[in-house]
Structure 1
Amino acid sequence: MSSLYLVALGSNRRHALYGAPEGVVRAAMEELAAFGTVLARSPVIASAAMGAAQRRFANAALVLDSELSPPALLAALKRTEREYGRRRGQRWGDRVLDCDIILWSGGAWRSGSRSTGLVIPHPEFRRRAFVLAPALAIAPAWRDPESGLTIAQAHARLTRCRPLPR
């Protein structure tokens, strides 16, 4: 039985074969077809560096129809990151490729602890415009099983104008 996954991709380091981060993300989106059928690909967007990262990121999202279970897909994504040259290191640092499962058609999933295991929906996606903006382009009606909000609603809440404090 197959499941649908919303996968976020990001890069902010060059790759010898794929070039600039945008090229890395585009190549990785093609390679993830090895894990199922890619039903939709977002445009690649540029976003500011975050945390310890020093360079701007290229970010995108895709919808994948896959026979893999969430842990099996996560293992495949982590293997792909390593194949692209990702090394374990500083959290939120510069990286050639980062792939995260954001949502899946099975609802919520938890294995292990929040810091070491797999948690779906991704615990931070609601606060990350660089995840929500690409996801909005391809999956606006997908619902967060915890909040009940669609991607479009979560994006609107995150990006709406707020009055300045007095």
Structure 2
Amino acid sequence: MERVYIGMGSNLADPEDQLRSAVQALAQLPDSRFVGVSGFYQSDSLLPGQPRYTNAVAAIDSTLPPLDLLDALQAIELDQGRERHERWGPRTLDLDILLFGDRLIDEPRLQVPHYHMHARPFVLYPLAELAPASLKLADGRSLSQLLADCPFIGLERITA
């Protein structure tokens, strides 16, 4: 099994409930074992005019191939009302594979490590709650260095 970290975000339809439902769905994934979830964080949307986001990171151990896991995550999104009208629009649920073991994945549908995680405090700080301090990404960057380069600005931790 490989450790997979999954970024979770929502800014529609009761975001905290959306994330709690996503955690329940992740715990039911085939060929996988749910490990844990970070606290929930709120932050402003990256785009003006959208509601604030609630974010968290979950960890699972899985034997699913990466694209099969991506398909399963997108099915969870759809089950929770996700509509894909625009790339950066508001959403009921967004599930992103951040890290997949020590793999470096560059597929048309999936890039791991997640291509923008290094610049997103709403990803890095929840990830740091679950990942070991010594975590190194497949591309050689360390989580501790990413945190040092991405200050805890604009985040509000809303759950323990």
Same fold, TM exceeding 0.5? yes
Over alpha carbons, which structure has the higher Rg?
1
- Once the two structures are superposed, residues 95-129 of structure 1 have per-residue CA deviations (whole angstroms, 9 ceiling, x without a partner) of 000000001114201222xxxx2111111110111
Q: CA RMSD in A?
A: 1.7
Cα distance, 1:53–1:11 mapped onto 2, change above 3 Å: farther
Q: CA offsets, 1:131-164, max 9 Å, x none? A: 1111011114321121x23223211211189xxx
* Residues 21-72 of structure 1 deviation map (CA, whole Å, 9 limit, x = unaligned): 0121122112101222111210011111122661001100011101111100
Q: 1:71 and 1:52, CA in 2 relative to 1: closer, same or farther beyond 3 A?
A: farther
Query: For the Cα contact (< 8 Å) 1:29–1:41, is it kept in 2?
Result: yes
Match of 1:144 among 137, 143, 151: 137
Q: Which amino acid aligns with 2:74?
A: K
Structure 1: how far apart are the matches of 2:55 and 2:93? Answer: 10
% identity of equivalent residues: 32
Q: Secondary structure at the match of 1:92?
A: coil
Aligned residue pairs total 150
- More contact order relative to length (CA 8 Å, sep ≥ 6): 2
* Match in the other structure for 1:95: 91
Structure 1: which amino acid aligns with 2:6?
V
Show structure 1 runs of 5+ residues with no match. 15-19, 162-166
Deviation at 1:13? 0.3
1:33 aligns with 2:27: yes
What TM-score does the superposition give when structure 2 sets the normalisation length? 0.87
- Map of 2:114 onto structure 1: 122
- Counterparts of 2:49 and 2:129, CA distance in 1: 25
TM-score if structure 1 supplies the norm length? Answer: 0.84
Unaligned runs of 5+ in 2: 154-160
Q: Which residue number in structure 2 is paired with residue 17 of structure 1?
A: none
AA paired with 2:12? Answer: R
Matches of 2:49 and 2:20, distance apart in 1: 20
Deviation at 1:79, TM superposition (A): 0.7
Contact residue 102 and residue 138 of structure 2 kept, 8 A = no
SS at match of 2:150: helix
Say which is worse superposed, 151-160 or 28-37, in terms of deviation: 151-160
